[in-house]
Amino acid sequence: MKAQDIVEDFFKAPAIVLEEGVELGEKIQDELVSKLPLKQAEEYVNTLGPGLITGAADDDPSGIATYSQAGAQYGFQLLWLALFTFPLMAVVQEMCARLALVTGQGLAANIRERYPHGVLILCTTLLFAVNTFNLGADLGAMAKAMQLLFPSLDFTFLVVSFALVSLMLQVFTTYARYARYLKYCTLALLSYVAAAFVVQIDWTAVARYTLVPSITFSTNQILLICAVLGTTISPYLFFWQTAQEVEEEILQGKNTLELRQGTSDIEIKRMRIDVWSGMFFSNLVMFFIIAVCGATLYVHGITTITSADEAAAALRPLAGEFAYLLFALGIIGTGMLAVPVLAGSTSYALSESFAWDMGLYRKLNEAYAFYGVIIVSMLLGIAFNVIGIDPIKALIYSAIGNGLIAPVLLFFVVRLSSDASIMGELINTRLITLLGWSTVVLMALSGSAAIVALCVS
């Protein structure tokens, strides 16, 4: 090789290396871009927590029975409720979560510090009764759903088994592990979405009834709308949401109230993604349950559904084995999510009201009263099924109780989250405040209408 060629190659080398480096960089960039959606999806899933669990727990077996009845009795006519209640539900739960992040404590603790104690005790006592009736009805529905799959199993044995499994998980597992379990349980609700694609549905009619509200103003329909509102915007969710935000902060090492007080823009952003995603998921499931029952039960004249398991059984000859199986498994899965949330929200509310040591992060010997309330709730739920209390009456009692306490608790939620002395710069915006007070009025009217209708009937 000539000396001139060597010199030329020497000066060309940096350009060649640079060109190869650019090509390598482009390959790396292309690979990173191709992985970006997966990374974003992973980050989104990791963001989901208390809000997702709260939203999914709202679709408990009692709620499934209510939504199934809406579809069976009126077809697609009440589908607009899923769209209508979504922003109201999301705004309420966001106010609860934001209050917990700013103050570092739950809803009951905030009410106790700023309002007459007697009002809080009355509300939490009613909540205990309402949640216990609801919990008992859910345990019974889970047992009935399991019997649909395995008819030879004893009803009482199943009720006790479900209650004990739920109780053991709450008492003897760490909060971090238990939170993951609850998060996985939310996947059970996807069975109702899947069921919609197994049956024949007129999606044009679905879209029309979803976007254009329709009411017949009959007593039965008004009562059913009130029931849907009551089971969708439920008081126990307010306490559970705030308590879980606090539990998550404790999991991050914020073990004292002083450390938990105040929050960051990043935490608020993550909370909003979590809450609005959870409430959207909840209402999406509600939408598909009404649609499935409207396309099958209503069309075939099966207009009276008294429980979630009855809805599953009625689907079997109409929609096939797969839809029936999905519905039954969904009842069991969402029950395993909702039952501990019902018992836990009661315990959080009472513990905060009386300033007891509390939290699922604590061991049993560190919070006897807190876990004691959970145990008593479970035992009463079992007892209701053993002595044969009518599950429909239990749901009626729950509806009346929710009608009494939901507007009162919503009043406190809106007032507290609108108070600049408490929330600082994170007070409600005008739009959030308007939606909050609108929800208070709506729930007050709904509760009053339900009570009047029940008394008249």
Q: What is the pLDDT of residues 122-156, one digit of tens each?
A: 888 888 988 988 899 889 888 988 998 899 999 99
Pick the more confident residue, 207 or 192: 207
Q: Which residue has the tokens 């009935």?
A: 144
Mean pLDDT over residues 232-239, rounded? 90
User: Is a pLDDT exceeding 80 seen at residue 356?
Assistant: yes
Instruction: Write down the domain spans for the chain.
Output: 50-456
Residue 11: pLDDT band by 50, 70, 90 thresholds?
very low
pLDDT (tens digit, 9 = 90+) per residue, 244-275?
A: 899 888 888 888 888 888 888 898 999 999 99
Residue 454 CB partners (closer than 8 Å, separation 6+): 223, 396, 399, 400
User: Is a pLDDT exceeding 90 seen at residue 314?
Assistant: no
Residue 190: pLDDT band by 50, 70, 90 thresholds?
confident
User: Is a pLDDT exceeding 60 seen at residue 1?
Assistant: no
User: Is a pLDDT exceeding 90 seen at residue 432?
Assistant: yes
pLDDT of residue 5: 52
Mean pLDDT over residues 381-395, rounded? 79
pLDDT of residue 17: 43
pLDDT of residue 402: 75
pLDDT (tens digit, 9 = 90+) per residue, 56-87?
A: 888 888 888 888 889 999 999 999 999 999 99
Mean pLDDT over residues 345-349, rounded? 93
Residue 6: pLDDT band by 50, 70, 90 thresholds?
very low
How many CB atoms sit inside 10 A of residue 149's CB?
Answer: 13
Per-chain mean pLDDT for the chain: 83
Residue 376: pLDDT band by 50, 70, 90 thresholds?
very high
Mean pLDDT over residues 176-197, rounded? 80
pLDDT of residue 50: 82
Q: Please state which CATH class domain 50-456 belongs to.
A: mainly alpha
Residue 3: pLDDT band by 50, 70, 90 thresholds?
very low
Pick the more confident residue, 179 or 238: 238
pLDDT of residue 94: 95
pLDDT of residue 79: 96
pTM: 0.85
Mean pLDDT over residues 366-382, rounded? 94
pLDDT of residue 238: 92
User: Is a pLDDT exceeding 90 seen at residue 48?
Assistant: no
